[in-house]
Structure 1
Amino acid sequence: MNDFAIEADGLRRTYRSRTGWLRPQIKEVDAVKGVTFTVGKGELFGLLGPNGAGKTTTIKMLNTLLIPTAGTARIFGHDVVRETREVRRRIGYVFGGDRGLYERLSALDNLRYFAELYGVPAREQKARIGELLDLVNLTGRENERVEGYSRGMRQRLHIARGLLHRPEVLFLDEPSIGVDPVAARDLRRTVADLAATGTTVLLTTHYMAEADELCDRIAVIAGGQLRALGTPAQLKRHAEDRRVVEIEAYGVGDDAVRTVREIAGVRGVTLEPVGAAQVLTVQSESDIDVQSDVLAALNGIRLGRVSARQPTLEDAYVAIVAGAGAEVAA
């Protein structure tokens, strides 16, 4: 018996689409192109990548929702295609968004319903639901209708639902998407507490600070391929040879971003809205100071704070994805 909770070996998923009517053509798109990695028992493993990179497709192959076109995957040694029932007994799946709960029912009634659906013995349901309400910090709010819950509360209820049958592996697919910062902090605490109990967690997220804080190891996937794998500290080395400049701005458009990307020495650019402002983050080679050229490219745009800082995991992620020739979502 090995020590791996998840094993992916050469996973590939190809989609076929038909175009045209009079002269139809079959088009093939490779969403995942031979991904290989392992996750240890009790590990909190992050899977990062831009939109369309293949993260959710990979998770769906691992949790039996999609059949791989090629390659193999195993959960605690059980093949996801040949031993689907054994795999499903051992996994839970939580996805971001508002789907998957009955809004007119209370949280308690939702958990009772799903406990029956997941085959939790009747004599164990009350105690198990109580444990999970404590874990996700919803004790005292369990009799309220879900339609009155905030998005963060719904996401914590999603996690409780996914844990009802005591899965050995929990897949969390962008659980904090659209959640406010305070609720996201509570979610991170819940996930950390969960991992501390020995549950293996595979987490996808767009939030680098979340991955840096929570994950033991991180895999970066872009263009359907694995581009980097290691601890957060190891991945940060991808940006060690870079300068990073952050510029607060108001009204930066796509043309300005393209102009900044074309400056000699620039290796990565992201633009993120922060309240009423924007933050333009520019990475450059360590021996080239591009700050004056960037400011000149932004001439006519109202600017605020301009600062240089040490590279972070997010900067390393930008370097890895940009090196793969993929666009980084702003």
Structure 2
Amino acid sequence: MSFTVIAENLEKKFIIKKKKLFKKTEKKELKAVKDISFQIKKGEIFGLLGPNGAGKTTTIKMLSGLLKPSNGKIFLNNIDVNKEPLKALKNIGTVLAGDRSVYWKLTARENLEYFAALYGYNGKEGKKRTQYILNKIDLEDRADELVEKYSTGMKQKVALGKALIPDAPVVLLDEPTLGLDPQAALNLRKIILNLKDEGKTILLTTHYMEEADFLSDRIAIIDNGEIIAIDTPEKLKKSLNETKKIKFKITNYSKKLEKELNQIKNIKNLMYKYDANEEKHIIIIHQNNGHEIIDDVLNILNTNNSKILSMNIKETTLEDVFLNITGKNLKN
């Protein structure tokens, strides 16, 4: 089977220097990415899902040649990124998180025509390519306004447009909807799906569970620089079929109650939050045998003077998968 992107045994180390009193410097090694490997098939959206600081952006930067891995190999369309970086770059378009590589004092049209020239298009071809991209990202009506007057979502569209100028087969998108309002994020996701329909291979990093589930053909979950699971969203969720999630709304909550609940045999994880709007305590329990634990939960709630206001069984989500694998919430 032919693959578009292959990353094998990637590792990235950083040396952090911390100055102390009397001009002494302490050096500490940080492994941002630890021996990760994955393959991305031609024409698929491959999601890299993990919390902030998990190693997603470092991975994108290594794939795009902005960072050289401490160890490992990267191939884009059978091109070794480390040995032939310029040749590899012709095969990718990249949007980095917080991308400020477009010029805010220029219009969207001027930005894209400028980058088209950098990619080797002549004047006529550059204008034609720019118009095509403006139509694709739905900015043709406001193409001649300064980028600094755009909303965050529109600025992100220009950054994506810049990445699409070379018509590269691989597109690397590092948290493209970060900070966007719901409508802007939805619009950008539609554009990403259109790119897939055109046959583009897309690596998408995100820490939004719903986005990864909606867009990705396959997902790699990364945490602390390590990939801990790779599969389709459906199979990842199906792996937790034996683990059910029950949501309780209760009247009182305490650390003593939490400790006693966690001692119930079949409970795997317990999450707590307080709903200020409803003034209710919410506990979410991941467990392996709902019929057996209900009586135990009821008894513990009664002995702690807490009553159940509502209870329902929730469908498995990618956040449940992440919690089950890592023992922590994605946003932690």
Where on the TM-score scale, by shorter chain, does this alignment land: which range?
0.7 to 0.9
Find the residue that maps to 2:141 and give its secondary structure. Answer: coil
Q: Which runs of 5+ in 2 are unaligned?
A: none
Find the residue that maps to 2:312 and give its secondary structure. Answer: strand
Alignment match, 1:198: 199
Superposed CA deviations along residues 139-197 of structure 1, whole A, max 9, x for unmatched, are: 21111222222222222221111110111111000111111111111111000001110
Alignment of 1:225-244 (within 5 A): 225-244=226-245
Whole-Å Cα distance in 1 between the matches of residues 257 and 46 of structure 2?
Answer: 33
Whole-Å Cα distance in 2 between the matches of residues 198 and 260 of structure 1?
Answer: 53
Alignment match, 2:18: 19
Find the residue that maps to 2:65 and give its secondary structure. Answer: coil
Contact 1:283 1:315 in 2 (8 A): no
Whole-Å Cα distance in 1 between the matches of residues 239 and 299 of structure 2?
Answer: 24
Alignment of 1:72-91 (within 5 A): 72-91=73-92
Find the residue that maps to 1:81 and give its secondary structure. Answer: coil
Q: 1:275 to 1:90 in 2, by over 3 A?
A: farther
Residue identity matched to 2:103: Y
Contact 1:242 1:285 in 2 (8 A): yes
Find the residue that maps to 2:129 and give its secondary structure. Answer: helix
Whole-Å Cα distance in 2 between the matches of residues 155 and 110 of structure 1?
Answer: 13
Alignment of 1:28-47 (within 5 A): 28-47=29-48
Contact 1:12 1:35 in 2 (8 A): yes
Residue identity matched to 2:108: A
TM-score of the superposed pair, with normalisation by structure 1: 0.85
Alignment of 1:287-306 (within 5 A): 287-288=289-290, 289=293
Q: 1:287 to 1:73 in 2, by over 3 A?
A: same
Note the C-alpha offset of 1:214: 1.2
Find the residue that maps to 1:239 and give its secondary structure. Answer: coil
Note the C-alpha offset of 1:271: 7.2
Residue identity matched to 1:79: D
Alignment of 1:159-198 (within 5 A): 159-198=160-199
Alignment match, 2:313: 308
Q: 1:158 to 1:238 in 2, by over 3 A?
A: same
Superposed CA deviations along residues 86-126 of structure 1, whole A, max 9, x for unmatched, are: 11111111123362222232211111222223333323112
Whole-Å Cα distance in 2 between the matches of residues 294 and 66 of structure 1?
Answer: 53
**RMSD, aligned CA:** 3.4
Q: Calculate percent identity across the aligned residue pairs.
A: 35
Alignment match, 2:142: 141
1:9 and 2:8 matched: yes
Q: 1:138 to 1:257 in 2, by over 3 A?
A: farther
Find the residue that maps to 2:98 and give its secondary structure. Answer: coil
Residue identity matched to 2:229: A
Note the C-alpha offset of 1:245: 3.3
Kindly name which structure, 1 or 2, has the bigger radius of gyration based on alpha carbons.
2
Residue identity matched to 1:94: V
Contact 2:269 2:287 in 1 (8 A): no
TM-score of the superposed pair, with normalisation by structure 2: 0.84
